[in-house]
Amino acid sequence: MVEQLSSRADEIVAAGRALLETEGAEALTMRRVADALGIRAPSLYKHLPDKAALEAAIIADGFTEAAAAFESATSGAADPMGSLVRAFRTFASEHPHMYRLMTERPLPRDRLPPGLEARTAAPLLRLTGSPARARAAWAFIHGMVILELNDRFPPDGMTEEAWESGIEAFVAVSHADSA
């Protein structure tokens, strides 16, 4: 399943990630990645089986970073839920192309380090107290982030209010339930 990458492969993944983050998904090309390293595209295949493996490694990178951000945002915070939501939004807005790559297709779970997905989900799961509520909150947060990223909301300044309205809704239900 998840092979440990050689150090050269790590450099390839880093170059790929840099390309993705600075120029977007359509720049993430085997030839462009090779160019960035001063070699030819076919040489990449000495280190990685295919492009999907490169993408999976970049995605794993992203999840690791996101998980760390979520953990540090929630540990000992006064308002852990608000803090988590902010960390989520920050991650997505600082790494929009990465966030899209991480979410827009089914996860290549076979090619991801075991436990990474669960680790990323853990903080929200802990805060909401139930898988069902965690899923609902995640859907809301992801929906807001991806609709914003995809320019789906009219630019009328109403979006911040939508965030508050949604958070309020979930907090209300959580309190009602725990009472």
Residues lying near a copy of itself in the complex (CB under 8 A): 103-107, 130-136, 138-144, 146-147, 150-154, 156, 158-159, 161-166, 168-170, 172-173, 176
Asked if 105 interacts with DNA (CB under 7 A), we say: no
Q: Which is nearer to DNA, 29 or 103 (CB)?
A: 29
- Choose the contact partner of 86 out of DNA, a copy of itself, none; CB within 5 to 8 A by kind: none
The rounded distance, in Å, linking the Cα atoms of 16 and 10 is: 10
Using CA atoms, how far residue 167 sits from 2, 38, 139, 164, in Å, is: 37, 48, 12, 5
Asked if 6 interacts with DNA (CB under 7 A), we say: yes
Applying CB under 7 A, which of residues 3, 52, 79, 82 lies at the interface with DNA?
52
The rounded distance, in Å, linking the Cα atoms of 177 and 38 is: 58
Q: Which is nearer to a copy of itself, 31 or 105 (CB)?
A: 105
Asked if 45 interacts with DNA (CB under 7 A), we say: yes
Q: Tell me which residue has tokens 């990465």.
A: 98
Asked if 100 interacts with DNA (CB under 7 A), we say: no
Q: Which is nearer to a copy of itself, 71 or 163 (CB)?
A: 163
CA 163: distance to chain centroid?
19
- Choose the contact partner of 159 out of a copy of itself, DNA, none; CB within 5 to 8 A by kind: a copy of itself
> Would you put residue 76 in left (φ > 0), alpha (ψ -120 to 50) or beta?
left
What amino acid occupies position 62? G
CB of 80 to a copy of itself, least distance (A): 18
Asked if 8 interacts with DNA (CB under 7 A), we say: yes
Q: Give the list of residues 6+ apart from residue 66 with CB closer than 8 angstroms, or none.
A: 88, 91, 102, 120
